[in-house]
Amino acid sequence: MKKYILILILVAFELTAIAQKFTPVYTDWSNNAYVNNVTTLSSGDIIVYGNGEFLPSPAPPEGFQIRDKKIIPLDWEIPNNTEIIIEYNGTIYLGGALGIGMIVNDHYQKLITTEAHIFAMCVYRGSLYFGGTIGDMSGVRGNIAKYKLSTGELTVDSLADNAVKSIVPFAKSGEDTSLYVLCDTKGSAFLKLDGNLNSISMESEESAPKSYTGIEMKIWNNQLVVICWGENNDGYIGTYDGYDEWGFSRDINRPSRIDISPNNELYISGTVLTDSGESILSKFETVNECFQIKDENGRTLQSITYGPTVFTAWDQTSTFIIMNNGTWIEGYPDHLHVFRLDTIEIQKMEDMVVYPNPNDGNFLVSIPGRFYDYVSITDMGGRRIIFEPIFGNEFDISINVSPGMYFIQCGSEYTQKIIIK
């Protein structure tokens, strides 16, 4: 079995030292197209899907994909109004208005028929958990279900009064993993379940966001991050680590999306109130400290007309921003836009050094200047050995592979051959 050890030597860096360039990828869209969600697959392909008629042709009406920074048709057809796509052990599962399905030999195949509109889905201990609006799920009325992948056994239950929006397996340190569920119901928005969908009491239950409407929940920095709306649609960002009481920030108004980059950066879209104006996509250091996304000329990513929903997605080299229902700064008036965000280091970096080279699989990589990106090692056939975020300009790598020639790449700037003896 191949194994690797990546030891990082961290260096400090200034967020303000990074300029960002937004490049339109495609902006000529039909007004009828609306993105529901975006999923990055293990291949690096970004799947964009929703409802309406997506253009340009030959993109199928239910969505498109981004590969090698280009928009291309989907490799497989999916139902219109798909809400969520996940990948597990090489299999792609889909949920939405038509229930649960999967991709088999590049074709969509219905797995579970439901009247419920599915919004949330995850795999936990060999079972597929999914939830959505209250409705018939294979003959049983409910809004959350467990489908055992090995046997096809289906268990259905009802939680709260409205739709299940997120299902996340999460464990505080030293304890077994539980399922945390977020609903769009005031009074019982946040729930904790065991693997059989039984409710579990929480230490901080009294301070949980019971008076808010849940929007989305994800794991970030060993804690749950929740966005929700208050009574006046004012936004709240909550964090929960399994121990402490809930803490909330009101920095964001009407939050719509949580996105976490491969290098663990937290992005939340909505209307962020700042001294310099309003931004619809912000990067967060903590739930109380955010930074506006600005281009190289200092302009923020903002909406002139009305607040869109922003999706951020990452392939192996670039960040993509997909916008619903808004106007991009100036000159892009339609309803759906795709932009590529190119990060530009202000401090020019010199050549990458690998020492020693040739080596026995243990070597040092040094990149003068500050660096914040990825390291990837592939063999001659293009098979990936490692792909990990790096924070710093010098780090040790130890890999156990067969002797031969390999390629190491740091970000999109540096690629070098290495010889393993």
**By the 8 A CB rule, do 243 and 289 touch?**
no
Going by C-alpha positions, the residue among 45, 31, 36 that lies closest to residue 311 is 36
Distance CA(292)–CA(267), nearest Å, equals 10
Phi, psi of 392 (to 5 degrees): 140, -170
Q: Is the pLDDT of residue 349 over 80?
A: no
Residue with the bigger pLDDT between 396 and 56: it is: 396
pLDDT classification of 275: cutoffs 50, 70, 90: very low
pLDDT classification of 160: cutoffs 50, 70, 90: confident
Average predicted confidence (pLDDT) for the chain: 76
The label of the residue with tokens 């409910």 reads 142
Name the token pair of 372.
């914040």
Name the token pair of 227.
């966005």
Distance CA(180)–CA(240), nearest Å, equals 11
Preceding amide of 358 cis, omega within 30: yes
Q: Is the pLDDT of residue 13 over 50?
A: no
Q: 163-195: per-residue pLDDT in tens?
A: 899 999 998 766 788 899 988 876 567 888 888
pLDDT at res. 78: 86
Distance CA(407)–CA(250), nearest Å, equals 46
pLDDT classification of 92: cutoffs 50, 70, 90: very high
CA-based angle 50:284:201, to the nearest 5?
A: 80
Distance CA(251)–CA(236), nearest Å, equals 7
pLDDT at res. 327: 47
Kindly tell me the sign of the dihedral angle through the C-alpha atoms of 393, 259, 229, 177: negative
Average pLDDT of the residues in 322-329: 59
**By the 8 A CB rule, do 26 and 70 touch?**
no
Residue with the bigger pLDDT between 90 and 304: it is: 90
Average pLDDT of the residues in 197-214: 67
**Which pTM value belongs to this model?**
0.72
Least confident piece of the model among 74-88, 130-144, 243-257, 388-402? 243-257
Q: 390-420: per-residue pLDDT in tens?
A: 766 778 888 989 888 888 887 666 777 888 8
Going by C-alpha positions, the residue among 98, 97, 76 that lies closest to residue 87 is 76
Average pLDDT of the residues in 207-231: 79
Domains of the chain, first to last: 353-420 (2.60.40.3080)
Q: Is the pLDDT of residue 367 over 90?
A: no
